[in-house]
Chains A and B, each alone.
Chain A
């Protein structure tokens, strides 16, 4: 084969005075970027293999390693950027679709960063969460339009609800796209926090069934691992129609990742490719969705709320109205910054719309139709911190899903190479030697810490706004002001400009 025209993206620098030849880096790098030369007693590097995941940097006992962006620059060109050129080299060499992992990393506006949160001054008091109760409990599920009470008693029971202690859940990530240890860490953390994690389309491993109370089981187009026991094992069911990272696209878990455990959990033959088709082949229209929603409700005796997850696309508001009317109890909208284990680069970077707009448009539309109070709204896709959560709830979400943030808490360094199966952090891999690098207890502890920290910050922000229960923030767009937005953007978000 001809020589590759691709130059290394990163350079591995090793301070030879610090290096003690312990070869930790050599053993840790699944990409084989570090090589030990026994004869010369030196550690060498193959820069071209480095993905900049920081595993070696973090574990090097003498801090001898630095990874830098390769300063090698193409002739300056505002149109033909380095990535545009490199992508062409790759495709010219392989003839394939470009693959990538995690969420859209292009410099589109991040609207969370263009919204500012209010605080109380003089005319009403801020509330100190250290002295006063501050409530984050949230219920997801279908609500009746009104309650019927007779003789001080509920006349009709509420439909099934998910009770979340914090309005944050872990997004769908399948066993297959991530390791068993990562799944277990998410399940343990969700259980300790009183929130939910989501199986994704990976089935539910038998060892994780004990976390059922905190599990949302997903039904996607491949129907992997779905049987009555699975549907009844969780607290809720989520039908995945689409995903923010790759709207309109299915999924593909290559056969080499289908290990014995995955084969058993997904209920597919060992080593076979697990292909999730782009559409559900029994859902070609909204009335078909209704049938699936009610088939699942029948299968679970109407004891579990059913969520429907879609990617944020242009006509998202009308679609969500249809989903609410089709009988979904919870609607999940996944924005174009949502993560993934593998997606075609062009799709990830060019399809879908920002979650901030999608969320605002859906909430507004459902209110105009008078049905917002009946259905719960969850937003996902690129939520990075507690302020994003606060802004999402003020725009109209009941709760948020976090995926990438949860992975980062477990050690992910955003190298975006999940699809290679060589995750050095033991997260997006099935290689037993890599998987064991992630200790589920430690992973769970870090996740619990993250959510607790966010919850503390949310309480501080709520208190500042003079609010002591999260439901008073839901859809409370007065608490937001836009900065650097056009009046059209402000209109869609339904907020005023800073200073107004």
Chain B
């Protein structure tokens, strides 16, 4: 029997794409679907997905939970848990279209919730930390239930299929967002599990990733010391946790986080001035286990903006472009030109050189 994701580590190749409007202008999902569809050959129909920011303006202060249920018993268990820990303001099935190539879809539900005050008091946690723990509890202990996304005013739409079919299935043309990211997956195994598709999320964070990192177990065992549980055994999951830990919990500025994840080489560090050298040495000494080694290109998104990053010796493709208030990042330039034929600037970022796009008026990617 084939093991489901989480019981086995499945390496994948991928396509990624991201589009953002820096003024926060909302636009439909048509472009992102068109962009990722162009890279059809980079995925194999075993996983596709999208993250969208700004889609629920009327509920922007509520946590939007997108949840997969593989059987109705799981839904009952999860809802019992949710009711115990959250006030559910609104819930319902996520609307979908019939698409011939999309099969075996789970029950896909959405909840707009707030943590219950009494539970927050009881657990003595911040709201965010409480949500993180609850999501991890559901994903690791309720069989057949999987929280796909849990941020505010954002959501993830993913499944088993080619990304363009997944987009059609979820009717992304009917949603409007100021950040869209997309992922087409080429896994080397056929688990056919919807939860295993990407993006991976935590709170507002979502990550799409192309690559197979060689440092996986070093990264995993390090973040697990800080209370994260890597239930899916995927690179994307562990990368998301590293970002969450370093940015949200350790309060490090984004440039420091980038320095940890795609650290400069020692011969480069030796050429830095003394103060910078001391800082970078300290980052490599303390956060050595967060160095992501091996090929990757990732797009991290959150409500404030996006960060696109390559591994430090650029073993995976990634191209960026801008036009007006729009920023584009994709595995291939063609995927950008498919939706923006005449960008003002197109460039291939160097290994370890971040592309950061923030909403106007925002100082850092967090909070």
CB-nearest residue of chain A to B313: A132
- In the assembled complex, A465 has its CB within 8 A of some CB on chain B: yes
Q: Mark B260-284, 1 if CB is under 8 A from A, else 0.
A: 0001011100000001001101111
Does B218 have its Cβ within 8 Å of any Cβ on chain A? yes
Selected from A157, A367, A467, A477, the residue in CB contact (under 8 A) with B294 is: A467
Contact present for A124 and B212 (CB under 8 Å): yes
- Chain B residue numbers with a CB within 8 Å of A473 are 215, 218
Interface stretch, picked from A11-19, A57-65, A139-147, A343-351, is: A139-147
Is A476 in contact with chain B by the CB < 8 A criterion?
yes
**CB distance A471 to B218 under 8 Å?**
yes
Q: How far is the CB of B186 from chain A (nearest CB, A)?
A: 9
**Most chain A CB atoms below 10 A, which of B12, B221, B226, B313:** B221
A475 to B290, CA, bound (A): 12
Query: A480 to chain B: closest CB distance in Å?
Result: 9
Q: Is A80 an interface residue (CB 8 A)?
A: no
Chain B 36-57 near chain A by CB (<8 Å), digits 1 or 0: 0000000000000000000000
Distance from A401 Cβ to chain B, minimum over Cβ atoms (Å): 20
- What is the CA–CA distance of A153 and B295 in the complex, to the nearest angstrom? 30
B73 within 8 A of partner (CB): no
Residue B11 at the chain A interface, CB threshold 8 Å:
yes
Chain A, residue nearest B221 (CB): A475
A477 to B291, CA, bound (A): 16
Partner of A467 from B11, B215, B225, B255 at Cβ < 8 Å: B215
- Asked if B285 is at the interface (CB within 8 A of a chain A CB), the reply is yes
Q: Is the CB of B216 within 8 A of A476?
A: yes
* Complex contacts, A124 vs chain B, CB 8 Å: 11, 211-214, 294-295, 315
Q: Evaluate contact between B221 and A469: CB separation under 8 angstroms.
A: no
Q: Is the CB of B293 within 8 A of A158?
A: no
**With a CB–CB cut-off of 8 A, which chain B residues contact A472?**
214-215, 218, 288, 291, 293-294
How many angstroms from the CA of A132 to the CA of B12 in the assembled complex? 24
Q: How far is the CA of A157 from the CA of B277 in the complex (A)?
A: 12
Q: Mark A458-478 against chain B: 1 for CB-CB distance below 8 A, else 0.
A: 000000011111011111111
B154 CB to nearest chain A CB (Å):
27
Question: Assuming A153-B279, A469-B291, A474-B289, is B265 touching A135 (CB within 8 A)?
Answer: yes
Q: How far is the CA of A471 from the CA of B275 in the complex (A)?
A: 23
Say yes or no: A133 contacts B267, CB within 8 Å: yes
B325: interface (CB < 8 Å)? no
Alpha-carbon gap, A367 to B224, bound state (A): 8
Check: A125 CB closer than 8 A to any chain B CB.
yes
Residue in A closest to B211 when the chains form the complex, CB atoms: A124
Whether B293 contacts A479 by the Cβ 8 Å rule is no
Name the interface size band of chain A: 35 or more
Q: Distance in Å from the Cβ of A276 to the closest Cβ of chain B?
A: 34
B231 interfacial contact with A, CB 8 Å:
no
Min CB gap A392→B, angstroms: 14
Summed over the interface, the residue pairs from A and B with CB atoms below 8 Å come to a total of 124
Q: Do the beta carbons of A478 and B9 come within 8 Å of each other?
A: yes
In the complex, A127 has a CB within 8 A of chain B: yes
A149 touches B286 (CB 8 A): no
Given contacts A124-B211, A146-B250, A154-B282, contact A475 B315 (CB under 8 A): no
- The answer to whether the Cβ of A452 comes within 8 Å of any Cβ in the partner chain is no
Interface string of A146-173 (1 = CB under 8 A from B): 1101001110011001000000000000
Chain A's closest residue to B10 (CB) is: A123
In the assembly, what is the distance between CA of A476 and CA of B216, in Å?
A: 7
Residue in contact with A476 in the complex, picked from B215, B225, B278, B284, CB distance below 8 Å: B215
B222 at the interface (CB under 8 A from A): yes
> For B288, what are the chain A residues with a Cβ–Cβ distance below 8 Å?
139, 469, 471-472, 474
Among B263, B282, B312, point to the contact of A147 (Cβ < 8 A): B282
A473 to B294, CA, bound (A): 11
CB <8 Å contact, A373 and B212: no
Residue of A nearest to B278 (CB): A154
Interface centre among B11, B255, B265, B288 (most CB of A within 10 A): B288
Please name the residue on chain A nearest to B187 by beta carbon.
Answer: A123
Choice from A127, A133, A372 contacting B225 with Cβ under 8 Å: A372
Q: Is A210 an interface residue (CB 8 A)?
A: no
Give 1 or 0 for each of A315-349: 1 = CB within 8 Å of chain B CB.
00000000000000000000000000000000000
**Interface presence of A120 (CB below 8 A):** yes
B7-22 CB contacts (< 8 Å) to partner A: 9, 11-13
CB distance from B10 to the nearest CB of A (A): 10
Q: Is A466 touching B214 in the complex (CB atoms < 8 A)?
A: yes
Q: State how many angstroms separate the Cβ of B214 from the closest Cβ of chain A.
A: 4
| B109 within 8 Å of A (CB atoms) | no
CA distance in complex: A153, B291 (Å): 20
A469 contacts which of B222, B275, B278, B293 (Cβ < 8 Å)? B293
Is the pair A154, B279 in contact by a Cβ cutoff of 8 Å?
yes
Tell me the minimal C-beta distance from B309 to chain A in angstroms. 16
Q: Is the CB of A469 within 8 A of B263?
A: yes
Is A370 an interface residue when CB atoms closer than 8 A count as contact? yes
Any chain A CB within 8 A of the CB of B253? yes
Q: Do B214 and A475 touch across chains, with their CB atoms under 8 A apart?
A: no
* Chain A, residue nearest B224 (CB): A367
B11: nearest residue on chain A (CB-CB)?
Answer: A123
Tell me if A471 and B289 are in contact (CB < 8 A). Answer: yes
Partner of B291, one of A146, A149, A465, A471: A471
> Which residues of the partner chain B approach A146 to less than 8 Å between Cβ atoms?
250, 252, 286
Q: In this assembly, does B141 line the interface, its C-beta being within 8 Å of a C-beta of chain A? A: no
User: Smallest CB–CB gap between A82 and chain B, Å?
Assistant: 46
Residue on B with the closest CB to A494? B221
Set of chain B residues within 8 Å of A314, measured between Cβ atoms: none
- CB atoms of A479 and B217 under 8 A apart: yes
Contacts of B252 on A, CB cut-off 8 Å? 146-147, 149
B120 at the interface (CB under 8 A from A): no
Assess whether A147 is in contact with B216, with CB atoms less than 8 Å apart: no
Question: In the docked arrangement, what's the CA distance between A132 and B293, Å?
Answer: 13
Q: Given A147-B250, A476-B215, does the pair A125, B285 have CB atoms closer than 8 Å?
A: no
The answer to whether B256 has its CB under 8 Å from any CB of chain A is yes
Which of B253, B263, B279, B313 is A127 in contact with, Cβ under 8 Å? B313
Would you mind naming 8 contact pairs between A and B with Cβ atoms under 8 Å apart? A137-B266, A153-B275, A158-B285, A367-B221, A473-B218, A474-B218, A477-B221, A478-B216
Nearest 4 A/B pairs, CB to CB: A471-B288, A472-B215, A472-B293, A478-B217
For the A-B complex with A123-B12, A153-B279 known, give 6 more contacts whose Cβ atoms are closer than 8 Å: A127-B313, A149-B256, A367-B225, A370-B225, A469-B291, A476-B216
**A contacts, CB < 8 Å to B:** 120, 123-125, 127, 132-133, 135, 137, 139, 141, 143-144, 146-147, 149, 152-154, 157-158, 161, 367, 370, 372-373, 465-469, 471-479
